[in-house]
Amino acid sequence: MARKNRVAVIGASGRMGKAIIQVLSQSKISELSAAVVGKGSVYLGLDSGLHSGLKQNEILFSDDLSKSISESDTVIDFSIREVLSDVLSICKEFKKPVVVGTTGLVETHKDLLKETSKYIPIVYSPNMSIGVNLLFKLTEIAAKVMGDLADIEIQDIHHRHKKDAPSGTAEKLKAILLETLSRTESNIVHGRHGILPERDPKEIAIHTLRAGEVIGDHTVYFFTPEERVEISHKAQDRKTFAVGSVKAAEFLIGREKGLYDMFSVLGL
């Protein structure tokens, strides 16, 4: 039997880390090799399997980033953006492919991803869900067909604990619309308030809601005078993002250096 792909999970004690560990426990191709948490974490030394609602797996939470990455085949990073440069530097040093699902990245982080991808293969996506990446593709198709005829709105709903707004997924939807329709940031409006002039035909509005325990809902609306098209994705279980992340890690096995997205992983 072939040896499984050994995966180090960065940010392993969080919601996404737990979900990824659960998915890895059922994978026929990959297995957990290291579970990394932040320096001084209260979870240090605890069994990552038990913490993730599984049986004991004897892989203890560690804060040794370098050792964890060097002993893995592939890395999945769902930590915080402040750690990204360290993760990429160590992955580059040990020639390890990495899946980056950390949200809230700014242009400097994205530039760092591009630079590091000259040396190792990287999958980066603001959303690892298979369904959300289908949403991205359908939004692109709808924009090509209806974009110049329709008023376009994006709605982003997440749980009350989420810190970044709009979400990375909403930002990606915005980027798809701007590129497809040859528009710019000057066409973007974030919510509305007060007495406003008539809507500009090229305006694209983003509305952000943060409430309750919503895992993640996104809808793109195309309104014409005659009809309305809504393209929606609603996450029902955080595991959907974990499934896509593990699929991305397996996609990277033997892959050439470069920056890939989930369209590449899914063949879209």
Q: Is 125 known to sit in a ligand binding site?
A: yes
Is 5 a known ligand-binding residue?
no
- 196: tokens are 């406003």
Helix axes 15-26, 239-251, angle to 10 degrees: 60
User: d(Cα 113, Cα 126) in Å, to the nearest integer?
Assistant: 13
38 is in an annotated binding site: no
Q: Any binding-site annotation on 16? A: yes
102 is in an annotated binding site: yes
Catalytic residue from among 162, 202, 207, 239:
162
Q: Is 14 annotated as a binding residue?
A: yes
> 108 among the known binding-site residues?
no
12 annotated to bind ligand = yes
Q: Is 262 annotated as a binding residue?
A: no
Q: Is 169 marked as binding a ligand?
A: yes
Residue of 92, 158, 174, 218 with catalytic role: 158
Please indicate if the annotation marks 101 as binding a ligand: yes
Question: Is residue 162 annotated as part of the catalytic site, yes or no?
Answer: yes
**Is 168 annotated for ligand binding?**
yes
Catalytic sites, residue numbers: 158, 162
Binding residues for (S)-2,3,4,5-tetrahydrodipicolinate: 159, 168-169
Binding residues: 11-16, 101-103, 125-128, 159, 168-169
Binding residues for NAD(+): 11-16, 101-103, 125-128
